[in-house]
Amino acid sequence: MHLPRPIRTRRSIRPVLATLVVAAVLTACGGGGQSAPASNPAPNADPEIQLDGLVLRLTPRAKYRIGFTLPQFRDPFWVSVAYGIEDEAQKSGLDVAVKNEAGSYANLGRQISQVDDMVQRGLDAILVAPVDRVGISSALDNAGRAGVKVIGAGNLGNSAAMSVGVTFSHLVVGERIADFLGEKLGGKGNVVMLKGPNGADWATLREKGFKQRLAAKYPGIRILEEASLNPDRASGQSVMEDWIQKHGDRIDGVFSAVSLSAEGAVLALRNAGLNGKVLIGTSALSEATLEMLKAGDIQFCYAEPGQLVGRLAVQYAIRTLEGRELPHTQPAEGGLPLPRKVVYVDQPPYTPENADEFDPFTLDWAPRGFHP
């Protein structure tokens, strides 16, 4: 099985230390509780910070027209990806002609129609985060035959038309959460799994990474329950309530594929008086997740820099349109044949101990008040 080697990056530390962090990144990349800040920090327009030192901001040879379709804007992560796309396009001189959300991971048909519409509009490139890796393939193939460049932004598609994708290693996400729970529980205990939606490649890979790491390093940890669900707080709370009723305090830890489900699990645990007693590992920081981290109700959150993913997707779209070099790419993880080129970014996790050290508005979050 092919394991990717993510490009290790690091979020900028709070503004006073930003310059030092950029220098460190440029060197390395050569190969509720207390609430979040009440106001946004001043946006930093330095491309070395905004692109985390991975690529230079290019000025394209033409004002290309692009569009995007992302899974759902109820999820702060996808709002942040959309912001990264829109702001980077504006800074680079591109025209974002179409902005779409599927609305749910269940809405494959809607996303296919959105891809078809962008092709009919004659856009130069479309940035896609498929709700279903395989189900979207024919629409992406059609886009490629029409001469439209296809870039993966956060999620990947099983299509040769997808020239390059920008994401994180979802196997690594699962492994990191397994290591957190395994070490904190001393290699023994009972856990439950709030997985992602069926058909989403990221959900399948996170589950795979988690289970494989448990089996290899922590065989004394037992999975009591697992469920596939759309990433939202209500679903996470409902499923967790059922498991608490069934298992009570026998649950020692929770794997949550995304933070929205984890937030729902926290609400269920709070209602049962078990918050802070049951460990939760998750991914994709939101403002609510940050508050729960600081309160000690969530103990581990893998960083998913949505804004950075959106910005890099735009820069790789420019490079693809102009036949330029695509740096830092490698084959898709998990032995998947497509897309052939992927950029995997990797950042340190958020924990209660370091939650105040980093500025999530730099690479992770969209500014407050932004709407795609």
Q: How does pLDDT run across 238-250, given as a tens digit for each residue?
A: 999 999 999 999 9
State residue 227 phi and psi, 5-degree precision: -150, 140
Angle ∠(114,120,124) on CA atoms, nearest 5: 90
First to last CA, the chain: 38
Instruction: Count Cβ atoms below 10 Å from residue 275 Cβ, excluding itself.
Output: 19
Secondary structure letter of residue 248 according to DSSP: G
Residues of the chain with CATH 3.40.50.2300: 7-168+305-363, 170-302
How much is the pLDDT for 24? 31
pLDDT, tens digit (0-9, with 9 covering 90-100), for 310-367: 999 999 999 999 999 999 999 999 888 999 999 999 989 999 999 998 899 999 999 9
Topology of the domain comprising 7-168+305-363: Rossmann fold (3.40.50)
Reported confidence tier of residue 213, pLDDT bands at 50, 70, 90: very high
How much is the pLDDT for 4? 66
Has residue 84 got a pLDDT over 60? yes
Reported confidence tier of residue 48, pLDDT bands at 50, 70, 90: confident
Q: Which residues pair with 314 in a beta bridge?
A: none
What is the C-alpha to C-alpha distance for residues 275 and 247, in angstroms, rounded to an integer?
15
Q: Comparing C-alpha atoms, which of 343, 339, 370 is closest to residue 144?
A: 339
Helix segments in 42-147, DSSP class H: 47-50, 76-92, 108-120, 137-145
Reported confidence tier of residue 9, pLDDT bands at 50, 70, 90: low
Cis peptide before 339 (omega within 30 of 0): yes
- Alpha carbon separation from 281 to 73, 94, 336 (Å, rounded): 23, 38, 26
Task: State both tokens at 372.
Answer: 């795609």
Quick one: CA dihedral 259, 262, 267, 273, positive or negative?
negative
Q: Comparing C-alpha atoms, which of 284, 319, 277 is closest to residue 305?
A: 284
Instruction: Count Cβ atoms below 10 Å from residue 49 Cβ, excluding itself.
Output: 17
Most distant CA pair in the chain, distance: 61
Q: What is the mean pLDDT of residues 14-42?
A: 32
Burial of 184 (0-12, 13-18, 19+ CB in 10 A): middle
Instruction: Count Cβ atoms below 10 Å from residue 38 Cβ, excluding itself.
Output: 6
How much is the pLDDT for 7? 60
Query: In what order do the strands lie in the sheet containing 342-346?
Result: 7-8, 342-346, 162-167, 149-153, 125-128, 65-70, 95-101
The structure's pTM equals: 0.86
Superfamily of domain 170-302: Response regulator (3.40.50.2300)
Angle ∠(12,300,49) on CA atoms, nearest 5: 10
Query: Under the phi-then-psi rule, with left for phi > 0, alpha for psi from -120 to 50, and beta for the rest, what region is 189?
Result: left
